[in-house]
Amino acid sequence: IYMYYINSIFYSKITKNFNKNIEFIVYFICIFHQITMGRNMFKAMYSSSEIRENTFQLEDEEVNSIQSNETTEINKKALTKCKKCGVLRPPGAHHCRICECCIERMDHHCYILNCCVGEKNYRYFFSYTLLSFINSSIALIFCCLSFYNYWQDIKMKRKIMK
């Protein structure tokens, strides 16, 4: 919403000296950027890295060894049982105390998106963060250019009044 505001308010002042084709291309890039950022945000929020109970199919011997807190080699991965939720989890999985579930290759719990960043949504989270940085940079550039144009207008009015 903020970027749409920046585009609609300051866009006409900044691009007043542009060619119409370049103006359309710049505007299209800004809109495409906003759509991509929104898509990555929703993908990061709803691509769950949560480990569910039926994720790993084990035989009775392997279940007994895991319940006795021994590590079991399955496809060269050592599975362990979570002490808090009781789910079998691969190496690198951690239990999130906020989500109350185990997350594969957990990086952190993001309070902005209100979800855990893990194996399945890390790339969407990273691209959302990168696009947010680019978005903030564009907004800062638009604000600076708008302020510069405003300052030039004030200077011109002062010269005319003298």
Question: In the chain, which residues have pLDDT < 70?
Answer: 1-23, 53-77, 162
Q: What is the mean pLDDT of the chain?
A: 76
Tokens found for residue 160: 């005319």
Task: Read off the DSSP letter of residue 50.
Answer: B
pLDDT at 76: 43
Alpha helices of the chain — where are they, by DSSP H? 2-14, 20-46, 60-67, 122-161
pTM for this predicted structure: 0.67
Tens digits of per-residue pLDDT, 12-57? 555 555 566 666 777 777 788 888 888 988 998 888 778 776 555 5
pLDDT at 68: 53
